[in-house]
C-alpha cells in the first residue's frame, strides 16, 4: 500500500543485522538478490564466527579474497586435491584450520604449507589424517607458536618424540586430543607435563586433554598429569585399559579437574571410585559407563564425596535401586543421569530419581529391561526433563 516502507528501503546496517540470523546457505542466497543486498551481506558482522567449508579442487582466484572481505577466519577443508599452501597464502589472518579426514594429507604437504610463522592460527584439527607423523609436529611447533587447540585424534603415527616437540614449542596449548595415538606412553605424558628433564617446559596451560584409547598408558602417566598439568579441567581416559584404581588417587588431588571420563576402563573398580571421591568435591562430570566392576558401593562413595556432580554416566554398570537411592538422595543437583543397560534398575529406582532430582534435564534408560510405564510416568513428571532416551524399550 502507498506510504508503507519496503524492505529495499532499509539501511544496509539493518539488513546486515537481519542477514546475521540466516544460516550460511541463506546468507549466500541473499547476496544474489540485488546489489544492495550483496553489499549488506558482505558486512563482517553477518559472517562473524562462520566456518567456511571448502573442497580444494580447481583454482578459483576469487574464493579467498571473497572470504577475507567477509571477515571469515575459520576454514574446514572437506577434500584436498590442491596444495594446502593456497589456503594459507590466500587467508593470511586465518584463525582456525580444520583438516579432519583429509586422508591424502602428508608431512610433505604440511611442510610446503607451513613455510613461515602464522601468529593468528590458534586452532588446528588434523584428526584422522593418518599419514601425518612426528615430522609435521616439528613444523607446527616452529611456525604455529600461538596454537591453543591441536587435534591429533586418530593420527596413529604420532609417537612420544612428537609429544616432546609439542612440549618444547607449544607452550600456550590449551586443548590437545591424542585419541588412538597408540604409540604414546607414560614417557610422552611426562614430556607434556614438563617432568622429563629434557629441556621441555611442557604444556602447562593445558585445560583439555583427550587420551582415549591410548593403550600404553599406565598409572604413572596420571602421576605426571597430576604433578605437571595443574590447570587441567577435562581429562578423557576412556578405553585406557592400563589405568587402575591406584591412578585415581592422583586425579582426586587435582583441584582444577572438573570432568573425568573413565568409560570402558576395565580395571577401575569400587575401590578406585572411593579414591576419587575422597577428595572429589571439585568434580562436576564423571563417566564410568561400561566399567563392569563399578557397583552400588561406588554410588555410596560418590554420594559422600562428589557433592558437586551435575552429570553422571553409569551405563551398563552393576548398580541396583539401593545404590541409586544413595546417589540421588545426596546429589540433588544432578541434571544428567545416564543409566542405560543397567538391567537391575526397576520402577523403584525411577521413583527415587523422580522424588529426589528436581533439576534433572536428561536421562538415558536405554536397555533398562525391568522398568515399566509405572516408573516412566513418575520420571515424566520431573519439571525440567527435556531428554528421555528409551531406545528399544517395549511397553509393559
Radius of gyration of the chain (CA): 25
User: What residue has cell string 591453543?
Assistant: 148
* pTM value > 0.95: no
Helix ranges, 70-211 (H): 85-90, 107-113, 134-143, 160-169, 186-192
**Contact in structure between 100 and 130 (CB atoms under 8 Å):** no
Question: Coil, strand, or helix at residue 336?
Answer: strand
Cα-Cα-Cα-Cα dihedral sign, residues 43, 48, 52, 58: positive
Could you confirm whether domain 51-243 is CATH 3.80.10.10? yes
E strand or H helix that includes residue 164 = helix 160-169
**Contact in structure between 51 and 75 (CB atoms under 8 Å):** yes
Please name the residues in contact with 124: beta carbons below 8 A apart, sequence gap of 6 or more.
96, 97, 99, 140, 144, 147, 149, 150, 151
Q: Going residue by residue through the chain (396 aa), what tens digit of pLDDT does each one get?
A: 454 555 556 655 566 566 656 666 666 676 666 776 666 566 665 566 677 788 877 767 777 887 777 778 889 898 888 788 888 988 899 999 999 999 999 999 999 999 999 999 999 999 999 999 999 999 999 999 999 999 999 999 999 999 999 999 999 999 999 999 999 999 999 999 999 766 678 999 999 999 999 999 999 999 999 999 999 999 999 999 999 999 999 999 999 999 999 999 999 999 999 999 999 999 999 999 999 999 999 999 999 999 999 999 999 999 999 999 999 999 999 999 999 999 999 999 999 999 999 999 999 999 999 999 999 999 999 999 999 999 765 555
Query: What is the location of CATH 1.20.1280.50 in the chain?
Result: 1-48
Closest listed residue to residue 67, CA positions, set 34, 37, 44:
44
C-alpha separations of 292 from 119, 288, 315 in Å: 47, 9, 9
- Between CA 151 and CA 145 the distance in angstroms is 15
Cell of 325: 537411592
A 10 A CB-CB count for 76 gives: 16
Query: What is the location of CATH 3.80.10.10 in the chain?
Result: 51-243, 280-396
**Contact in structure between 121 and 144 (CB atoms under 8 Å):** yes
**Contact in structure between 159 and 192 (CB atoms under 8 Å):** no
Domain range 280-396, CATH architecture: Alpha-Beta Horseshoe (3.80)
**Contact in structure between 192 and 167 (CB atoms under 8 Å):** yes
Tell me the fold of 1-48: Monooxygenase (1.20.1280)
Amino acid at each position: 500500500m502507498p506510504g508503507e516502507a519496503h524492505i529495499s528501503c532499509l539501511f544496509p546496517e539493518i539488513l546486515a543485522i537481519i542477514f546475521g540470523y540466516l544460516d550460511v546457505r541463506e546468507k549466500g542466497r541473499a547476496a544474489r538478490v540485488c546489489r544492495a543486498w550483496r553489499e549488506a551481506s558482505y558486512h563482517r558482522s553477518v559472517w562473524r564466527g562462520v566456518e567456511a567449508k571448502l573442497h580444494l579442487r580447481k583454482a578459483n582466484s576469487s574464493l579467498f579474497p571473497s572470504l577475507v572481505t567477509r571477515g571469515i577466519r575459520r576454514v574446514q577443508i572437506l577434500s584436498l586435491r590442491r596444495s594446502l599452501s593456497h589456503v594459507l597464502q590466500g587467508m593470511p589472518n586465518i584463525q582456525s584450520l580444520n583438516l579432519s579426514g583429509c586422508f591424502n594429507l602428508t608431512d610433505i604437504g604440511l611442510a610446503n604449507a607451513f613455510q613461515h610463522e602464522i601468529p593468528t592460527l590458534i586452532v588446528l584439527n588434523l584428526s584422522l589424517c593418518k599419514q601425518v607423523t612426528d615430522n609435521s609436529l616439528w613444523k607446527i611447533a616452529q611456525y604455529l607458536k600461538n596454537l591453543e587447540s591441536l587435534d591429533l585424534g586418530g593420527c596413529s603415527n604420532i609417537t612420544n618424540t612428537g609429544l616432546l616437540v609439542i612440549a618444547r614449542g607449544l607452550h600456550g596449548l590449551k586443548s590437545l586430543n591424542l585419541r588412538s595415538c597408540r604409540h604414546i606412553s607414560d614417557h610422552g605424558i611426562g614430556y607434556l607435563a614438563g617432568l622429563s628433564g629434557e629441556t621441555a617446559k611442557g604444556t602447562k596451560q593445558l585445560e583439555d586433554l583427550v587420551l582415549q584409547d591410548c593403550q600404553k598408558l599406565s598409572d604413572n602417566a596420571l602421576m605426571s598429569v597430576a604433578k605437571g598439568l595443574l590447570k587441567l579441567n577435562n581429562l578423557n581416559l576412556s578405553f585406557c585399559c592400563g589405568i587402575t584404581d591406584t591412578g585415581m588417587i592422583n586425579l582426586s588431588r587435582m583441584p582444577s579437574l572438573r570432568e573425568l571420563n573413565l568409560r570402558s576402563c576395565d580395571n577401575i573398580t569400587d575401590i578406585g571410585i572411593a579414591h576419587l571421591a575422597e577428595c572429589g568435591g571439585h568434580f562436576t562430570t564423571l563417566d564410568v559407563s561400561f566399567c563392569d566392576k563399578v557397583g552400588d558401593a561406588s554410588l555410596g562413595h560418590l554420594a559422600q564425596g562428589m557433592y558437586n556432580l551435575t552429570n553422571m554416566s553409569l551405563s551398563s554398570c552393576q548398580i541396583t535401586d539401593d545404590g541409586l537411592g544413595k546417589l540421588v538422595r545426596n546429589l540433588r543437583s544432578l541434571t544428567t543421569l545416564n543409566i542405560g543397560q543397567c538391567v537391575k534398575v526397576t520402577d523403584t529406582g525411577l521413583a527415587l530419581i523422580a522424588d529426589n532430582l528436581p533439576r534433572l534435564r536428561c536421562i538415558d534408560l536405554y536397555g533398562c529391561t525391568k522398568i515399566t510405564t509405572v516408573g516412566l510416568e513418575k520420571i515424566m513428571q520431573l519439571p525440567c526433563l527435556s531428554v528421555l532416551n528409551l531406545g528399544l524399550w517395549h511397553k509393559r
